[in-house]
Amino acid sequence: NAGVTQTPKFRVLKTGQSMTLLCAQDMNHEYMYWYRQDPGMGLRLIHYSVGEGTTAKGEVPDGYNVSRLKKQNFLLGLESAAPSQTSVYFCASSLMASGKETQYFGPGTRLLVL
């Protein structure tokens, strides 16, 4: 049981380049999320998904796209990277059981846009 995994762990991009971050979970969770964390701050929600084939915008969705073609995978795409997208990206999944929510995070992806 690997939990939540993210690929890659670190990436350097030039302005205007594109890339896709992959998140995978093996816990059969419906809900998955992409967050970014900037220095000295908490997380901000980019996009989330409530199940296979569905996605929704979060707090800071501009410049990002997502897809959830398979339940276990949630992809985050940057079509044209900008220096403002330099951040640490966390993927998460969650489960609600007996009225209690539990969240599981991936290890994070450090992205540097030059």
Most distant CA pair in the chain, distance: 46
Out of 48, 64, 66, 68, point to the residue binding another protein (CB under 8 A): 48
Out of 24, 43, 111, 113, point to the residue binding another protein (CB under 8 A): 43
From the CB of 34, what's the least distance to another protein, in Å? 12
Q: Check binding of 69 to another protein (CB under 8 A).
A: no
Give SS3 for 83: helix
The residue type at 50: V
Sheet holding 73-78, edge to edge: 4-7, 19-25, 73-78, 64-67
Contacts with another protein, residue ranges (CB under 8 A): 30-31, 37, 40-45, 48, 50, 56, 58-59, 88, 90, 92, 94, 96, 99-105, 107-108
